[in-house]
Amino acid sequence: MSTTSAALTGAVLAALAAATAAMAFSITARLPHPPNGTGGAGDDTATADADARADRTAAAERAAAWPLTGRLGRLVTPGRATAAEATVLVLALLPLPAAWRLAALATLFACFATTALVLHGRACGCFGTRLAARLTYPHAAACALLALTLTAGALASAPGPGTASITAAAGAATGAGLYFSPWPRSPATPAVPPGRPELTDHIVIYGSTTCPLCTILWDQQDYYRSLSRVPLEFRTATKDDRHITGGAVPAAVAYDHRDTPVTGPVHGLDHIRDLLHATPAPADNTAPAAARDQ
């Protein structure tokens, strides 16, 4: 095997692993997941209600994160897109000629690159609500690079079928496993934001009238208040609030009794819920006066 051929094969294998890993992570993130809460026999009704509400919230969040709207959004729904990606991933794993599998993946990632260019700046529902992302030019460039590399491999019939199958399976397993790993966020362990949440007196959630995820928050104020151990306020962000929210909404900020922020802003519904869970109850955040006045 020549040096050029070996380099091409290596590049194609790396692109194949990256493509299948990204697809497996994306598909897993957008599938509905069973709730992990448990309750006793006397809590069956409350648990069922909480599970149903969590399911509705998750479905609404996935829909709000989807970048396509209007007629195109009704045609290319999250479910249909996930089914198409799953079909291509299955093809990549089947013992078919490597050129066919690489061509299918290349076509899909070319579509991703085109979508990122056309919908530049919109929220990306690529990874459900697990990763808050937007469609950007680097996003488009990465997808285009994968598409070009996979196309080159398809045209050169590199790598062989067996090697392609092993690489695709390893990539898919890595992507799916990554979803259930602590990276980038552990759903079982609420992330405590930087600052001093133990001094929290109340929390303010900032939003806007043009933000789909903010609409979900505003429609479910009672649910989010039930998660919080301190008073929770919903406020429409103004230009003067940009230095508090970090210029993005929805955002949540914890304040002390003097209305001074004690944690930095957290963004996205998952991280807002993490902040609510991580904030101590009022009886637990009565720090000594010297500490509170520092």
DSSP tag of 239? G
Q: Is the Cα dihedral 286, 290, 292, 293 positive or negative? A: positive
d(CA 254, CA 232) in angstroms, rounded, equals: 9
pLDDT averaged per 10 residues, the chain (length 294): 83 96 90 52 54 58 63 79 93 93 96 90 69 80 96 89 94 91 52 66 89 81 88 90 84 89 82 83 52 44
pLDDT at 74: 77
d(CA 155, CA 178) in angstroms, rounded, equals: 31
Tokens representing residue 263 in the block: 């944690």
Q: Which fold has domain 197-292?
A: Glutaredoxin (3.40.30)
Q: Are residues 62 and 216 in contact, defined by beta-carbon separation less than 8 angstroms? A: no
Domain boundaries, the chain: 3-179, 197-292
DSSP tag of 121? T
Tokens representing residue 136 in the block: 């950007």
Tell me whether residue 5 is exposed, middle or buried, using C-beta atoms within 10 angstroms of its C-beta: 0 to 12, 13 to 18, 19 or more: exposed
Q: What is the pTM of this model?
A: 0.62
d(CA 218, CA 286) in angstroms, rounded, equals: 29
